[in-house]
A = this chain, B = another copy of it.
Amino acid sequence: MPPKGSIEKDRSIVRELVRDPRQSNVALAAKVGLSEGSVRRRVERLVAEGHLHFAAIASAPFMGRPVHTLFEIQSAPGATDDLIEKLAAMPEMAYVYHVTGQFDIIAVGYFASSNEMRTFWTGRLGNLDGVMESRTVMVLRVAKRLHEWARDIAIDDNVTDLD
């Protein structure tokens, strides 16, 4: 087990990488006060454990999918998990959340046109077993998409044993 305070080093590595994902291990090592090799091993471990991951994010409009839609779905009792599986398997879907509230599932997808979205909604989604009710919400503008949200966060010292 990390001998306490080690997790803070991990977090500072993560914060630093969130701030600049493409910096070299050498630069990162200098900032967090470790050697290049140690930083490299820690990053590998953090990625393997799922605490950190790297992504290249494409602009959906640039890739030919300008229509950004959110679906709120109420599922039949007991059907939620199945439904989530099926939604997650659809390539149009980027995010699928199991949530509380009036609806059980929120899913976000990208489409080439409103018409294609409509086809998807009325055809593929509407025909799925277990869909009681669904609503679409069109995303007009993304005001903030901060995969970098962790950057400014001050970490409480007493929160060290989280998964």
Contacts and interface: CB of A to CB of B under 8 A. Distances in A.
Interface of A: 11, 14-15, 17-18, 21-22, 50-66, 70, 84-85, 87-88, 91, 93-101, 103, 106, 110, 112, 135-150, 152-153, 155-156, 159, 162-163
A64 B99 contact: no
Nearest to A53: B57
Contact of A53 (B18, B56, B61): B56
A59 B14 CA distance: 9
B61 A101 contact: no
Nearest to A10: B62
13 contacts: A11-B63, A11-B64, A14-B58, A17-B56, A18-B56, A50-B59, A53-B57, A91-B152, A93-B144, A101-B136, A110-B149, A112-B159, A147-B147
A152 to B, nearest CB: 5
Given A14-B62, A88-B143, A141-B97, A54 B52 contact: no
B54 A100 contact: no
A141 to B, nearest CB: 4
B146 A94 contact: yes
Given A65-B153, A99-B138, A137-B99, A56 B143 contact: no
A97 B142 CA distance: 5
A60 B57 CA distance: 19
B59 A51 contact: yes
A140 B63 contact: no
A36 B141 CA distance: 35
A144 B56 contact: no
